Structure 1
Amino acid sequence: MCGRYAATKDPATLMREFDALDGTDGAARGPDYNVAPTKTVVTVVERHPKDAEGAPLAGEAPVRSLRTMRWGLVPFWAKDPSVGARMINTRAETAQEKPAFRKALTRRRCLVPADGWFEWKAAGADGDRARPKEPFYMTSPDGSSLAFAGLWETWRDPKAEADALPLITCSIITTDAVGALTDVHHRMPLALPADRWAGWLDPDRTDVTDLLRPPERDWVNGLELRPVSTRVNNVRNNGPELLERTGPEATDLDGGGSADGALFDVPR
């Protein structure tokens, strides 16, 4: 699953990595080493330019841009936005069936840039049930951004004034873990390699069934698994020290990662 991640790069850096324009209008947060649900996050979308009435401009190519959204998808038909706290993740296997996600899957897809994500080793996995959960951090060894497949929606408060700004929210898609990561957790965010970004963002593409598959085993095995401090357990803690290695040397998943086969989860 994906319940906590790090996103520390500024819009200028993300613009270069994702070949996108900056549409955040200054609303992007600073470096966030402990991104939690309901926070404002930066996403990448690709949309056709529209005229003053909101109609797509004929003959105009789609434009890729950075946008800010609140993490926790609120369906357009929801009665109030509190439902978003329960929709931070979307299962790839059921996204095409669930009413809250299926329309967004065909029309409103995004990428969620991240430096990496956190998982927690289940307490008592080695027989010591008194020991607290141990946090680990999954990241790209070369420092490049990961891109989680996401969905987004626009919600308008039926009680608000007609010209009130809508609430834009998103959800991160999750899938079965593959490769060596299955020794870490049975689920993972659907991180898309760069060669899948264009297909996922294409606003003219309505069927993305083939892109909902987990990433290739070799790509996942190239990620780094890094033990980190339990300070990340508290969402109020936020700083670069949360990403620092603790305990054993960091290793990539292809080199063994977690040898004990324990499951990881977000602390409840």
Structure 2
Amino acid sequence: MCGRVTVQTPAIEIAREFALAGIRNAIDRPRFNLAPTQLMPVVANDGQRMLDAYRWGLIPSWAKDASIGSKLINARSETVAEKPSFRSALKRRRCLLLIDGYYEWKQTTKPKTPFFFHRKDRKPFALAGLWEEWTSPETGEVVRTCSLLTTGPNALIAPIHDRMPVILSPAGQQQWLRPEPVEAAELQPLLVSCPDDFLDAYEVARVVNSPTNDVPECIERVAA
């Protein structure tokens, strides 16, 4: 699963990189260890191409409380169309999650070893995501939430982890953001691993293990 990301790129640069129409909401500072339940930069398929910020961890509209969101941070692309929590969003409410890196932990070492994955040019990239709008039955607060899709690993990720986020190409981004309902069969070809040479990776210090450590040291390379 993918449970920590970085968003170091300023909102205005993200908007420029993805040719967005503007910024509706943005996170307020560089994030070096962004975790579930926190705000994630997104672009929803509402036809407006605006940068927004949704809470990471999908809360289905029918949920009785928000706690389910912490369990729905990822959706497996192989089964997303079958899951009650995700299937309606897959058809109607898709989004891009715009990040510039993510962490994964190698499972075969003790303790587990964290690695940082990023584009070689350090620019932001777009993950396939789903979004929902949930209204708190207690307060009436309306919350927009999101989840990212995962798939099998490419050759870079496979030695470290058996899953990776779905990273969309520019053409895939356009298809994913179509505002009209789309059947799962049309979307499935997009839900694959990115090319092996798209990302780079290196080991980082275990300071990243705690989500309370949201500091530049999280992305510092561990000397070989």
Tell me the TM-score range normalised by the shorter chain.
Answer: over 0.9
User: Do the aligned partners of 1:181 and 1:221 also contact (CA within 8 Å) in 2?
Assistant: no
Q: Which residue of 2 aligns with 1:215?
A: 193
Structure 1, residues 53-84: CA drift from partner, whole Å, max 9, x if none? xxxxxxxxx32111111000000000001110
Distance 2:188 2:19 in 1: 23
CA RMSD of aligned residues (A): 1.6
2:71 maps to 1:86: yes
Q: Any gaps of 5 or more consecutive residues in structure 2? A: none
Q: Which residue of 2 aligns with 1:12?
A: 12
| TM-aligned CA deviation for residue 137 of structure 1 | 0.5
Distance 2:155 2:206 in 1: 26
| TM-aligned CA deviation for residue 243 of structure 1 | 1.0
Q: CA 1:94/1:212 → structure 2, altered by over 3 Å: closer, same or farther? A: farther
Distance 2:19 2:113 in 1: 36
Distance 1:241 1:167 in 2: 32
Of 222, 225, 229, 2:201 maps to 225
| TM-aligned CA deviation for residue 224 of structure 1 | 0.6
Distance 2:169 2:69 in 1: 27
Q: Which amino acid aligns with 2:166?
A: L
Q: Which amino acid aligns with 2:138?
A: K
Quick one: percent identity of the two aligned structures? 38
Distance 1:211 1:13 in 2: 29
User: Do the aligned partners of 1:11 and 1:22 also contact (CA within 8 Å) in 2?
Assistant: no
| TM-aligned CA deviation for residue 205 of structure 1 | 4.9
Distance 1:167 1:143 in 2: 31
Structure 1, residues 89-124: CA drift from partner, whole Å, max 9, x if none? 001011101111001001110111111110112254
TM-score under structure 1 normalisation? Answer: 0.78
SS in 2 for 1:181: coil
Q: Which amino acid aligns with 1:92?
A: S
| TM-aligned CA deviation for residue 237 of structure 1 | 1.1
2:58 maps to 1:73: yes
Structure 1, residues 112-139: CA drift from partner, whole Å, max 9, x if none? 1111110112254xxxxxx422111111
Q: Which residue of 2 aligns with 1:150?
A: 129
Q: Which residue of 2 aligns with 1:2?
A: 2
Q: Which residue of 2 aligns with 1:96?
A: 81
Q: Which residue of 2 aligns with 1:188?
A: 164
Of 110, 132, 140, 2:119 maps to 140
SS in 2 for 1:12: helix
Distance 1:115 1:40 in 2: 15
Q: Any gaps of 5 or more consecutive residues in structure 1? A: 48-61, 125-130, 249-268
Distance 2:181 2:155 in 1: 29
TM-score under structure 2 normalisation? Answer: 0.92
2:163 maps to 1:178: no
Distance 1:211 1:24 in 2: 30
Higher CA-based Rg: 1
SS in 1 for 2:157: helix
Q: Which amino acid aligns with 2:32?
A: Y
| TM-aligned CA deviation for residue 158 of structure 1 | 2.4
Of 30, 45, 48, 1:63 maps to 48
User: Do the aligned partners of 2:107 and 2:161 also contact (CA within 8 Å) in 1?
Assistant: no
Q: CA 1:239/1:159 → structure 2, altered by over 3 Å: closer, same or farther? A: closer
Distance 2:165 2:28 in 1: 22
SS in 1 for 2:88: helix
| TM-aligned CA deviation for residue 28 of structure 1 | 2.1
User: Do the aligned partners of 1:178 and 1:214 also contact (CA within 8 Å) in 2?
Assistant: no
